[in-house]
Amino acid sequence: MTTRLYDLAHARAGDKGDVSMISVIAYRAEDYPLLVEALTAAVVARFFEALGLTRVERFELPTLGALNFVLHGALRGGVTRSLALDAHGKTLSSSLLSIEIDLPGTGLAREGMEPTQC
Amino acid sequence: MKTIRIGAGAGFSGDRIEPAVELVEHGRLDYLVFECLAERTIALAQQAKRKNPAGGYDPLLEARMRAVLPGCHRQGVRIISNMGAANPIAAARRVIEIARELGLTGLKVAALTGDDVLDLALDENPMLLTGGGRVADIGRDHILSANAYLGADGIVDALGRGADVVIAGRVADPSLFLGPLMHAFGWRPDDWDLLGRGVLVGHLLECAGQLSGGYFADPGVKPVPGLARLGFPYAEVSSDGAAAVSKAPGSGGRIDLSTVKEQLLYELSDPSAYVTPDVTADFSNVRLEQIGPDAVGLSGAGGRPAPDQLKVSVGYLDGYTGEGQIAYAGVQAAERGRLALEIVRERLALTGVAVEELRSELIGIDAIFQGADGDASYTPREVRARIAGRCATLQAAHAIGAEVEALYTNGPAGGGGVTRSASAVVAIASTLLPRDRIRPRIDMEVA
């Protein structure tokens, strides 16, 4: 069973050079462990595969109930070189919120594993 | 315990002006900071300065100063800004002229320079942070500018010498806010935890409205009242670095845990190592507390020693881009849009236009994000076909838009609303230079 990330969290994207940073913040503190479990760096890397990322890092912020993703090579050379309509990648935050994530006990996606398709 | 109030007057060069005036009138501020320099702005301003030696600073400097100077002068609010861009000296001189016109005699204006390190960057020829090359590999003829991200020290000096207005070029954004805190509280350059707390305040305020409900609203899910009259934020900071952020009473927007969390993580990589020229700040244990309506308390930030080297942005000319767009509507809109894109690609090949990189897409379907969340069954009622390319010459860049325009009479049925553009690309590469080779300099003038 899956749920849409949009219903659990809000997000904001920023950029520095060719790196996009996307925060994912749980609306409710009790949903944070679910985000930690289901929204791994591997899951996010797979979702944004088409961007041609070189690496995805994830930082956990339990005090804020938030995850911070750092997407390297996400912006086609960065805002000053990219031919993209949204060269900053500002809209990537909303795109990410449309991802469906696995709910606990239903085939959790873990780091390094293939995320399950439903 | 002593507290001071710092307001955010702008979050980018084109930002609204009235919220800054509102903050001056109703925010009981001690300092007002205008952050107006994006990554590329100085390189573009450097080009403007070459054409006009008295230019090269923020085009809205005059409008902003006319709007806020009288109130700031009356209430003793001191102004700090990076609106000097490529020419802080000329910008400060303009502020002096405006002050005299407004009858604000005695106003002290400091120009903070030293960030222009073009000669040093060419001499030292350091490695670029990405791509493996050195500064010289960009090609001397292509380089427009090299500016170091200065820290708070120059601002602290200028305020210590009595400046009412400090006009800088490139200074790290949070340092614009840390400067007045260090000055007001006598924080030392190695008070790492205090500096880390000050950087947290600066980081939250530097995008102005993005803290107080701007860039947050999603109707029905994340409502924000009064975005058309969004209030800009201010922070009340204590000498121990504890702080609370709020906005002018009665203004639009919202400040709560959610809006502050989004801005806290904005543009951050590792939250435990936010590198600035003044301190490596640690936001990983920041705690937020709603302490009143539209008021959030901040605690728990810390800091470690600053880096030995300063980040330098090198602006350079990097060829040209051309773009064209055309809209289609009704049944088969997307199909006709795709055909249009295919025709332009074929035309560019047929006519021998040299394009290094070409990107085409349908706005409304796959322009923002090409991939994963696409829905093949989705049939939009309207699309806008867009094609953009990178070229070595301006002439070739113009040809892309020209081919899109030619679709009016040679392309698929029902195309309309063509727009086209072609321009030189000013790109940025980053490098590092030793901080002991870079000295801030202050020139002071009195109105």
Does the beta-carbon distance from A59 to B286 stay under 8 Å? no
Over range B375-394, report the average pLDDT: 91
Per DSSP, the residues of B329-364 read: ESTTHHHHHHHHHHHHHHHHHHTT---SEEEEEEET
Residue of A nearest to B359 (CA): A83
Position A102 pLDDT exceeds 90: no
Look up residue A107 and give its two tokens.
């085939």
Cβ contact, residue pair A83, B268, below 8 Å: no
Provide the pLDDT confidence category of residue A78 given band limits of 50, 70 and 90.
Answer: confident
Q: Is the pLDDT of residue B61 over 50?
A: yes
> How far is the C-alpha of B268 from the C-alpha of A23, rounded, in Å?
9
Contact call for A80 and B428, based on CB within 8 A: yes
What is the distance in angstroms between the Cα of A105 and the nearest Cα belonging to chain B?
Answer: 24
**Which residue carries 């070409």 as its tokens?**
B358
- The lowest-confidence range among A57-61, B373-377, B396-400 is B373-377
Mean pLDDT of chain B: 96
Put simply, whether B430 touches A (Cβ < 8 Å) is yes
Q: Residue B130: its chain A contacts at CB < 8 A?
A: 17-18
Q: At what angle do helices B173-185 and B153-160 cross, to 10 degrees?
A: 40
Query: Which of B299, B361, B369 has the highest number of chain A CBs within 10 A, making it the mutation to test binding with A?
Result: B369
CATH number of A2-99: 1.10.3470, 3.30.70, 1.10.10, 1.10.287?
3.30.70
B319 and B392 in contact (C-beta within 8 Å)?
Answer: yes
Q: What span, in angstroms and rounded, lies between the C-alpha atoms of B235 and B244?
A: 5
Q: Is the pLDDT of residue A116 over 50?
A: no
pLDDT average, residue stretch B210-226: 97
Contacts of B88 (CB under 8 A, 6+ apart): B57, B111, B112, B113, B167, B168, B169
Tell me if B321 and A83 make a contact (CB, 8 A cut-off). yes
Structural tokens at position B165 = 């207005």
Residue A79 pLDDT class (50, 70, 90 cuts):
confident
Instruction: Return the SS3 of B405.
Output: helix
Predicted pLDDT of residue B374? 59
pLDDT in tens, B22-56: 999 999 999 999 999 988 899 999 999 999 999 99
Q: Which positions in chain B touch A80 (Cβ < 8 Å)?
A: 39-40, 318, 425-428
Per-residue pLDDT, averaged over B56-62, amounts to 97
Residue A81 has pLDDT above 70, yes or no: yes
User: Which residue in chain B is spatially nearest to A99 when comparing CA positions?
Assistant: B373
What integer pLDDT is reported at residue A107 of this predicted model?
47
Give the CA radius of gyration of chain B.
24
Whether chain A has a CB inside 8 Å of the CB on B203: the answer is: no
Reported as a single tens digit per residue, the pLDDT across B272-305 is: 999 999 999 999 999 999 999 999 999 999 999 9
Nearest by CB to B372, which of A50, A83, A91? A50
DSSP A39: S
Closest residue of chain B to A8, computed from CA coordinates: B221
Considering chain A, what is the average pLDDT of its residues?
Answer: 87
Q: Which residue of B has its CA nearest to A87?
A: B368
pLDDT band (50, 70, 90) for residue B379? confident
Q: Please name the amino acid found at residue B17.
A: I
Q: What does the alpha-carbon distance between residue B297 and residue B256 come to, in Å, rounded to a whole number?
A: 10
CA-to-CA distance for B238 and B250, rounded, in angstroms? 25
Specify whether the CB–CB gap between B144 and B135 falls below 8 A. Answer: no
Spell out which residues of chain A touch residue B218, defining contact as CB-CB under 8 Å: 10
Tokens standing for residue B196: 């880390």
Kindly report the CA angle at A27 between A23 and A28, in degrees rounded to 5?
A: 125
Give the pLDDT mean for B396-417: 98
3-state secondary structure B55-69: CCCCCCHHHHHHHHH
Q: Could you give the domains of chain B?
A: 3-115+150-307 (no CATH), 314-430 (3.30.70.260)
Residue A82 has pLDDT above 70, yes or no: yes
Contacting residues of A for B386, CB less than 8 Å apart = 85
pLDDT tens figures, B123-136: 999 999 988 899 99
Q: What is the value of pTM for the model shown? A: 0.94
Other C-beta atoms within 10 Å of A72: how many?
A: 16
- Of A99-113, B260-274, B325-339, B404-418, the range with the lowest mean pLDDT is A99-113
> Which pLDDT tens digit goes with each residue over A17-43?
899 999 999 999 999 999 999 999 999
pLDDT value of residue B373: 52
